[in-house]
Amino acid sequence: GENVEQHPSTLSVQEGDSAVIKCTYSDSASNYFPWYKQELGKRPQLIIDIRSNVGEKKDQRIAVTLNKTAKHFSLHITETQPEDSAVYFCAASYSSASKIIFGSGTRLSIRP
């Protein structure tokens, strides 16, 4: 079945630096890859997603890249700020009838 691996599990970066979180997926038919951010004590919220017909998508300081050949996708956060501190989850889905599979999460801490 579909499996999504995410790393690192924890990441600490200096404010202003960039952060990169990577995920790999097992099913080559996967074609939808969302990223969710969960702040402490709050619900997960979608921050960006990418579909398999594009290789990169950007939204201000956040970008996601997709390498279908290697079956991995990454989240890039530039110019990190304290409010970026949260747990980030990647996910993958391969068909309209299948469930979304989440990675195990990355706890990102931004050092002042």
Partner 1 sequence: GAGVSQSPSNKVTEKGKDVELRCDPISGHTALYWYRQRLGQGLEFLIYFQGNSAPDKSGLPSDRFSAERTGESVSTLTIQRTQQEDSAVYLCASSLDRSRETQYFGPGTRLLVL
Binding residues vs partner 1 (CB under 8 A): 31-32, 34, 36, 43-46, 49, 51, 89, 93, 95-105
Q: Which residues of 54-84 are buried (b: 16+ CB within 10 A; e: fewer)?
A: eeeeeeeebbbbbeeeeebbbbbbeebeeeb
Nearer to partner 1, 15 or 39 (CB): 39
For the bound state, the minimum distance from the C-beta of residue 76 to partner 1, rounded and expressed in Å, comes to 20
Nearer to partner 1, 51 or 111 (CB): 51
Rounded to whole angstroms, the Cα distance separating 89 from 5 reads 10
Nearer to partner 1, 57 or 78 (CB): 57
For the bound state, the minimum distance from the C-beta of residue 16 to partner 1, rounded and expressed in Å, comes to 27
Rounded to whole angstroms, the Cα distance separating 70 from 76 reads 18
